[in-house]
Amino acid sequence: MKIARFSHNDAIKYGILDDGELVVLAGDPMFAGFDTTGERVPVGDVALLAPVIPRSKIVCVGRNYRAHAAELGNDVPTQPLLFFKPNTSVIGPGDAIVRPAQSQDTQWEGELAVVIGRIAKNVTAENALDYVFGYTAANDVTARDLQNSDGQWARAKGFDTFCPLGPAIETEFDPAEGEVITRLNGEVKQRAPFTDMVFDIPFLIEYISAAFTLLPGDIILTGTPEGVGPFGAGDVVEVEIPGIGILRNVARDAA
């Protein structure tokens, strides 16, 4: 089941995607369930938004694909390498990625995003997927020059617009059967199956929840494969996860 968050008639709503239409839900399904209002709206009549705005945190995993670690000259971590993005970095499909004036090397990183649906603390890998609401596509936009110069990643990863999410949350997605494809202006730049992850999703949830409590609506970005690179103003960046959809954003320079 694909869940979208959208704007229609000056109101923000949630809906279930069904054959080109949205079955409007009575509230946020993560908290209010899947009761419907009886209204159906054509997808073409709405503006799709980021399917979730984390109330708490976005936890990201660095160097979780061996080839990506190698392309940047880094070793593969022996434990997950964690960092955060602020929720103010989130944008939705069709929104502009703003290249900040502070950076001359802004890069894409296509990823699978895990949406947490229940409070999770000290979860075991065996039951970790019970805490997952669903999955969506993400772009862990990175100011690579600032990542290299700052010594830590908060600024390089955390600018406004640096976490596109969407287009929808798929509640029945199986990462074991999935892959991520990233395109720049229609040209494939990244393509890898999720089975190439160094640390799989159940392990990541166990590891992260042992450090801090995960709340409903929190996001885990699971890492990017090899093929990252720079983009400029006017470029179109697409992150596709078959079975979830295509997250498409155009870049522009800061005003």
Q: What pairing do the DSSP bridges indicate for beta strands 179-184 and 132-139?
A: unpaired
pLDDT, one tens digit per residue, over 143-174 is 999 999 999 999 999 999 999 999 999 999 99
Task: Report pLDDT for 159.
Answer: 98
104-117 average pLDDT score: 98
pTM reported for the whole predicted model: 0.97
Q: Which residues of 95-108 are buried (b: 16+ CB within 10 A; e: fewer)?
A: bebbbbeebebbbb
Helix (H) or strand (E) holding 237, with range, is: strand 236-241
Q: Looking up tokens 């020059």, which residue turns up?
A: 145
Predicted pLDDT at 92: 98
Token readout for 133 is: 């609401």
Closest CA to 160 of 111, 110, 217, 97: 97
pLDDT at 233: 98
Rounded mean pLDDT of the chain? Answer: 97
**Each residue's pLDDT tens digit, 182-236:** 999 999 999 999 999 999 999 999 999 999 999 999 999 999 999 999 999 999 9
Give the pLDDT confidence score for residue 244 in this predicted structure.
98
Local confidence band at 57 (pLDDT 50, 70, 90 cut-offs): very high
Q: What's the CA angle centered on 209, arms 208 and 210, to 5 degrees?
A: 90
Domains of the chain: 2-49 (2.30.30.370), 58-253 (3.90.850.10)
**pLDDT at position 176:** 95
Burial class (CB in 10 A: 0-12, 13-18, 19+), 29: buried
Residue 58 confidence class, pLDDT cut points 50, 70, 90: very high
CA angle 130, 239, 114 (to 5 degrees): 15
Instruction: Report the pLDDT averaged over residues 75-104.
Output: 97
